[in-house]
Structure formats: C-alpha cells, structure tokens
Structure 1
Amino acid sequence: MPVTTEPPRPLASEDVRLALRAATLYHLEGATQAEIAAKLGVSRPTAGRLIARARAQGLIRIEISIPDELGATVHTELERNLEQNFGLTEAVVTSAVPDGSPAGYYALGRAAVGVLARRLHERDTLGFTWGPETVAVAQALKPRSARCATVVQLDGSMTTTNYQTGVDFTLGTCAQLLQAEPVRLHAPLYADAATVTALQNDSLMGRALEVGRNADVMIFGIGPVSTATTLFEGSYLDTALLDELRRLGAVGEMGGRFYTREGADIDSSLTARTVSVPLDAVRACPAAVLVSGGGNKHEAILGALNAGLADIVVTDIDTARWLVEHKEAAPR
C-alpha cells in the first residue's frame, strides 16, 4: 500500500495566535523559552514547539539590514560567501586594499588582531611566520588585546644579506603585549639537507620546531612566486629557483614551502632544505589564520585556500571578490 506524505496542516486560529505570540516574544523581545512558557501558561517544551511551528508555517521572516553609513565598511555577505566556498570557519574582509607597501597591510593587521582577541586563550601557543603581514599584526596589537602562554617563530629567517625580515620586532612585540614566553627559531630558512637534519636533532632548534608544529593558533601571510616576493628580495631565492618552482606549477608559498593553484604541495629541490613547520602541521592546526591581500597575491591566496592551509582568512574586499568569482568558475 503506497504511503503518501501530506503537507503540514494549517494551524487553528488559537494555535496561530499562540505561535505568533511565542515567536514575537522570542525573536523581537528576546525572551527565553522558560520566560515564554511562564507568560503563556504552557510547558517549556511546548513553548519551543510553538516557535518551531511558527517557522514551519512561514509566519516568521527574519531580515538583516545594514545601515547605509556602514555599507562601505561591513561586508558580511561577502564574508559568508568566502566561508561557504572554501569551507572556512571565519572570513574577515576589510575595505582597505593593500598597495604593496609595508604600511598598506595595517588594516589587515588590525582586523587580524580582532580575530586573535576572540580566538586566542591564555594557555595557547601562537605561531607566526615572518613577513609584512605579521609585522602589521604586531604593530596593531595593543596592551590587553589578547593573551597567550607562548609565541613561537614557525620558519627560519637568517640570510647572508642584511635583509630586515621583521621577525625580531614581531616576536618581541607579540611576546610583550600578549604576556607570553617567546620561542625564537635561530636558523636559516634554507640550508643543505644534512644541516636541516642536524638542526632538527639539535635540542634548542628541535624544541622550537616542535612547539611550532603543535601551536594552537597559527597566523601567517603568504607570498607569490615572483621577483616581488620577500624571499627573492631577501636573497633566499634566485632566478634559477624561481624558474624551477614555476615549472612545477607553484603559485605561492607559506613559511618557505610552496604549493600549486589547485592546492597540491610542491616537491622541489628546496623541500629537504627548508627549516620551517611542514604544511601538514598548518592543516592540522585548529585555528590557522591567513592574513594577506593585494592583487599580486590573488593566485597565491587561492592556492593556499585550495590547499586547506587556513581555517580563518583576513583579506581585502577586492581579493575576496576575486576569490569567490574564481572558486565559483572552477570546474567541479
């Protein structure tokens, strides 16, 4: 005998009145279900059912309105699209677009501090990679913005040139303002494979890398594969290495480790020579915060999101729109 499913029956007039009263009290007046039950003379479960019935019968319409004066600075719908398209826990979109200068990242840094204020806890370890984005985060920190137990450097920074990575400023400022123990990784970003193995076995370097791999929160920027990247400017890479990486399909790097536009890790001649936490440790971090933006980093950010390197992204409005468009245009 076939079974038919009937649509919900319309509520009787008394049921409609009670459902509307319950929904009004709950959604407009902020009453709890216990308070609604007491006011209407019903049980608490009945109050919950009345609210659910109002929803099921289409009696409730919820509308969120952004005031005109905030429309240019609040981008909640775009943030929601980013979260849905890339499976993110949270997206934060700023109106200011980085211009490539160190000062241009300040708006992103300030927004990232807001994320840390909500996500970082007193017993947590915060890991960071060096670069202009994390320098901007350190600059935007204020006393009592947040607090944690440890701040650790996730990638080596020493180089043969007098290049200013900002790692000392970032580590020192974050440790001071977050009231945390600083853990410095006194190592180059790239070395020969035997030296990397020795550094990993060294008690001091090994501890720093282990603390970094297990950080509760990681915050990092990313770089493109071009002569405009900080790795090239600091003489960590030369044109021959850039050519090799491009041939392998690299579009971006995090902590000196490279990946493709589709999110696959790149296995290059640099892989065994890199002193930083592996990308799998970033993927395993419960709160990996990517802070980056600007037109020259669009492909790199897309690759990082496709690689699953971020749970939370802080970026600018132009980059956010580009990411949503290109994710939706990608073949399924």
Structure 2
Amino acid sequence: MNLAKPSESDTTPLDEAARAAWLYYVGGKTQDQIARELGISRQRAQRLVSKAVAEGLISFRLEHGLSSCLELEAALTRRFGLELCRVAPSLGAGVDPTRSIASVTAVALERFLSASEPIVVALGTGRTLRAAVESLPAMDCAHHKLVSLNGNISPDGTASHYDVIMRIADKVHAPHYPMPLPVIAASARERDMFHALEPIQRTMELARNADVTFVGIGQMDEGAPLLKDGFLSEAEIASMQEAGAAGEIVGWIFDESGRYLDFGPNLRAAGVRVDVPTANIVISTAAGASKVTPLHAALKGRLINGLITDEPTARDLLDR
C-alpha cells in the first residue's frame, strides 16, 4: 500500500506552524535548518515557530495533530486493527527518532496514569521508554500499580542501564513491582528456579494481567539490542536468524509471522512473554529503519494492538 504524502494544498497554516515548532523544540534544530528542511525562508521559519507559540500549539509538547500524522494513524489502525495508534512528526533525515516518539509516548503514558480508576501498567525496558519516562511530569498515582515485564540484571550482574520501573515510580509516586531476574538466564533450569519463587510468581501474574502494557521492540540483525548489550552471543544471534528471527519483545524472539520460536534463548528468557492481547492494550513504541521488520512481524502476529512511531516508519510499515 502506498500512502501519498499530503500536497501543499492539503497542508494548513497550523500544520506548518506545528511542524516547524516540533523541529525547533523537540528536534533541537536551528531556524536555518528548519528552513532547509521545509523548503522555506529563514524568516518564514521564524514566523512559523512564533505562530505555534502564539496559537498555543506548544506547551513543552506539541498539542496540534498534524494532518499527515493523523492520516497515517488512521491507515495503520485500519490495516492492523489497532486499539491505539500515534504517529509523531518526523525530525528529518539522519536524526535519531527517539526524541520524537519519546515525547508522544510520554503523553500516552500520562493519559493512562491520569485515570481515576486504579489500573495496572506493565513496562518493558529500552532507550525510548526511558526517554519517555524522563519527559513525564510529576504525578500522584498512588492508586495505580506499576510492574516490570522483564529482568533488570545485566550479564555482568549490574542493573540494566535502560530499566524504567524505578524511574517512573519515583516520578508518579505509585507502588511498583520490579522483576529481580536476569533478562536471559544462564540455563532453562536456572530460569525455572527463579520462576518457582513465590514473589516472582506474584509479580509475573500481575504483569500478565496488566490493563495496559508499554514495550520497546528489538531487531535481530547485527545491531540487535540483545547482542549489543551482551545478553546473547554472535553465534546465538546467527542461529536465531537462520530460524527466521525477525524481532524480540522483552527478550522473547519471534519470526516474521509474529510467532515465538520454541528453542534457543527463548528457553532461557526470564521475563513475561507478551502474548496476543485480549481485553488489554499492548503498545509498542519504536521508530527507525531497523525497527520496521520487527514491528511489521509483531503487528502481523497480533502480538501488539497499539503502536507509537514516527512518520517515516509508519509509511514503511504501510508500504509492506
């Protein structure tokens, strides 16, 4: 499916102002860079940013939905039957999209946490989720529960650098349930020993029945997070690639159809496996060329029913 970019005639003045403000405040670009990105003069770029502020489109976050992003959200929702879809404006070629989607993820998190009725929020780990938590305002959410989906222990015994459960609990003052496990156990026997502990069983049951789940997603190429962070060796990654591995969620590896593989590291994955959601919402937040294959596989296999991404990634997903 090819979704054409909106023409200039489809773009409203507020769209232009919102995009310029997004590039300025979130992308950290100068007015000269914005002018080049949008194909306008520096003076017009300056006026657009000022207009966004004057119109109230910016209050540390972008409050105006760009029409191009809304169209992509609608198309992705129809294609994959999503319960929630948010598409962040692109920050331009060559720019890490983490800042863009982290801001949108923070907004989504805040809205769930603003619920008056108690809910359970399950969280994975990763750069984007960590950045999203850093963008959250301080809140009083003592009536909610936060639970980790996977372990926070690295192969060398240190705490995972991208663990988010402690950070978000400090920000929103909610009771939290960490998962004191390795991400990938040394053996299936070791994993089973951890899982036999009653506190671990209670935490895992809470995570499985969460009302909303936020996860990152990992690719299974040479840049695989499981490889870069030392959880798996090159030989193990190669073995999973030969079996058709396309991506992983909280350490559990799946193929291009979104089916979990039943051998290798998956026999040692210590966290809660994210299965096809039923009444709950499972949201993956990820963007970038390397994330297209794992995202498409997870969407195809219905492992997730929520998506937060950016414009280029959204278009690539629809093109498939």
> TM-score under structure 2 normalisation?
0.74
Letter in 2 for 1:279: V
Q: Percent identity?
A: 24
| CA distance in 2 between partners of 1:131 and 1:222 (Å) | 8
Picking from 149, 154, 157, the partner of 2:152 is 157
| CA distance in 1 between partners of 2:206 and 2:311 (Å) | 34
Note the 1:12-51 alignment, pairs <5 A: none
| 3-state secondary structure, aligned to 2:307 | strand
**Does structure 1 residue 267 correspond to structure 2 residue 262?**
yes
Shift of 1:261: 1.8
CA contact (8 A) 1:215 1:285 kept: no
Letter in 2 for 1:211: L
Q: Which residue is equivalent to 2:51?
A: none
CA contact (8 A) 1:251 1:300 kept: yes
- Residues 130 and 86 of structure 1: is their aligned pair in 2 closer, same or farther, counting only changes over 3 Å? same
Note the 1:131-142 alignment, pairs <5 A: 131-142=126-137
- Residues 215 and 182 of structure 1: is their aligned pair in 2 closer, same or farther, counting only changes over 3 Å? same
**Does structure 1 residue 112 correspond to structure 2 residue 105?**
yes
Offset from partner CA, 1:264-307 (integer Å, 9 cap, x none):
22222122211111232x62461111100011111011111112
Shift of 1:89: 1.4
Picking from 172, 196, 207, the partner of 2:166 is 172
Letter in 1 for 2:12: P
CA contact (8 A) 2:214 2:285 kept: yes
Shift of 1:145: 8.9
| CA distance in 2 between partners of 1:146 and 1:181 (Å) | 8
Q: Which residue is equivalent to 1:219?
A: 214
- Residues 276 and 99 of structure 1: is their aligned pair in 2 closer, same or farther, counting only changes over 3 Å? farther
- When the two chains are superposed, the root-mean-square deviation of aligned CA atoms in Å is 2.4
Q: Which residue is equivalent to 1:196?
A: 191
| CA distance in 2 between partners of 1:148 and 1:254 (Å) | 28
| 3-state secondary structure, aligned to 2:87 | strand
Picking from 7, 12, 30, the partner of 1:67 is 12
CA contact (8 A) 2:127 2:162 kept: no
Letter in 1 for 2:111: R
| CA distance in 2 between partners of 1:145 and 1:166 (Å) | 25
Q: Which residue is equivalent to 2:86?
A: 92
| CA distance in 2 between partners of 1:98 and 1:173 (Å) | 30
| CA distance in 2 between partners of 1:226 and 1:148 (Å) | 41
Structure 2: runs of 5+ lacking an equivalent: 1-9, 20-65
| 3-state secondary structure, aligned to 2:152 | coil
Structure 1: runs of 5+ lacking an equivalent: 1-64, 327-332
CA contact (8 A) 1:134 1:221 kept: yes
CA contact (8 A) 2:191 2:270 kept: yes
- Residues 245 and 279 of structure 1: is their aligned pair in 2 closer, same or farther, counting only changes over 3 Å? same
Picking from 122, 125, 131, the partner of 1:127 is 122
Alignment length, in residue pairs?
A: 259
